[in-house]
Amino acid sequence: MSLGMSSSLSSRSSLSSRPCIRASRRQQIHAAVSAQASSKQQQGTVRPTPPVNPRDGSAHEFQFLVANANFMLNDVQNESMAEQLRERVRYYGEMEYAVDFALVCEPEWLEKNVPADQLAKLGRPAVALVSTEKDWMVFMRLRLDRVISGSFNATWEEATKGDSEKIPDFPPQKWIAPYSPYAKGWWEKFLPENVN
């Protein structure tokens, strides 16, 4: 079934530098996999510094990612965002961090912080993910890709001010998956009024 393309994938000239894992190296690999396979917790792992709790009444730098509500909340592709947010809330709970992100529908700061040319391309109602954790937001932008991103200084209250009532009642979509979609409202626990 080879398309005859496979041979062109490897260059003959690189045969001399053919990778080869040395025996001693393999032993290390096995030591490593055995250690991990025995599911011992790695307590010594470097963990990033704890995030700052932005809900202290003072201004912080917030990052935002914004797109139309359908993309953010109702696209099959972004069901994985629901999983990520749940995972992060769980993780924050385990680490005893205060949750520093929320989903904001039609944020009040939108016009002020999104350039007009981009605003014109933004479907409404819009939903934004806001957080003070810059690295995580850079990662989320890498994942979501089709979003407008930016930052501003504000208090938690200002940054999360929006109108959750405007989240539309999404019409049923063409659904081919062997399971039903995430129930509407999965986002509710990430709305500003419900994030604790």
Inter-residue contact 141 to 71 (CB < 8 Å): no
Which of 56, 87, 163, 188: binder of another protein (CB under 8 A)? 87
Cα dist from 27 to 24, 43, 151, whole Å = 5, 23, 48
Inter-residue contact 101 to 130 (CB < 8 Å): yes
Which of 115, 121, 171, 172: binder of another protein (CB under 8 A)? 121
d(CA 103, CA 74): 13
Minimum CB separation of residue 103 from another protein in Å reads 15
Ranges within 15-74 binding another protein (CB under 8 A): 15, 17-23, 25-27, 29-30, 32-34, 36-39, 41-42, 45-48, 66-68, 71
Instruction: For residue 76, count other CB atoms closer than 10 A to its CB.
Output: 13
Q: Using the rule CB under 8 A, is 123 a contact of another protein?
A: yes
Place of tokens 């099959």: 76
Q: Using the rule CB under 8 A, is 143 a contact of another protein?
A: yes
Q: Using the rule CB under 8 A, is 115 a contact of another protein?
A: no
Ranges within 151-190 binding another protein (CB under 8 A): 176-180
